[in-house]
Amino acid sequence: MFNRSGDEGYEKSDLGFERKTLVWGNKTLMTEFRLKSGKELPIHKHPYEQTGYLVSGRINLKIGGERYETFPGDSWVVPENVEHGAEILEDAVAIEIFSPVREDYLP
């Protein structure tokens, strides 16, 4: 599968972010998130391992009771079924990979 960059295909959330599924295969799915400053992603958990990379901006991540202030170039892994959330400190773009594939994120 191949995906060309573009501004089409983003889904808006009531939580103040936009999500676009970039590509997916049999075991992984890659998503781009555009996050707005001042918003918060509430603590939640799911049965997917989630690996992330901060492209731009600044966020405070909460993963399993720990807090991490993240800057562009930082990366993380959230194991499956571990509580996590985020406070958006500056407008940010993050790339995250989910395994197994999140069917609810398929276009």
DSSP state of 41: E
Of 69, 58, 66, 63, the C-alpha closest to 91 is 58
∠ CA 28-60-24, nearest 5°, is: 10
Mean pLDDT score across all residues of the chain:
96
Q: Predicted confidence band at 15 (pLDDT cuts at 50, 70, 90)?
A: confident
Q: Is residue 20 part of a domain?
A: no
**48 CB neighbour count, 10 Å cutoff:** 21
**For residues 106 and 67, what is the distance between their CA atoms, to the nearest angstrom?**
30
Task: Please give the residue range of the domain that contains residue 73.
Answer: 34-105
Question: Is the pLDDT reported for residue 14 higher than 90?
Answer: no
pLDDT for the residue numbered 25: 97
Question: Is the pLDDT reported for residue 48 higher than 90?
Answer: yes
Give how many domains the chain has, as a whole number. Answer: 1
Q: Is residue 52 part of a domain?
A: yes
∠ CA 43-50-5, nearest 5°, is: 110
pLDDT for the residue numbered 46: 96
- Residues, the chain: 107
Q: Is residue 90 part of a domain?
A: yes
How far lies 13's CA from each of 8, 36, 82, in Å?
15, 11, 22
What are the pLDDT digits (tens) for 61-107?
Answer: 999 999 999 999 999 999 999 999 999 999 999 999 999 999 999 98
Q: Give Cα 4 to chain centroid, integer Å.
A: 19
Instruction: Tell me the average pLDDT across 10-21.
Output: 90
Question: Is the pLDDT reported for residue 16 higher than 90?
Answer: no
For the domain that residue 43 is a member of, what is the CATH number? 2.60.120.10
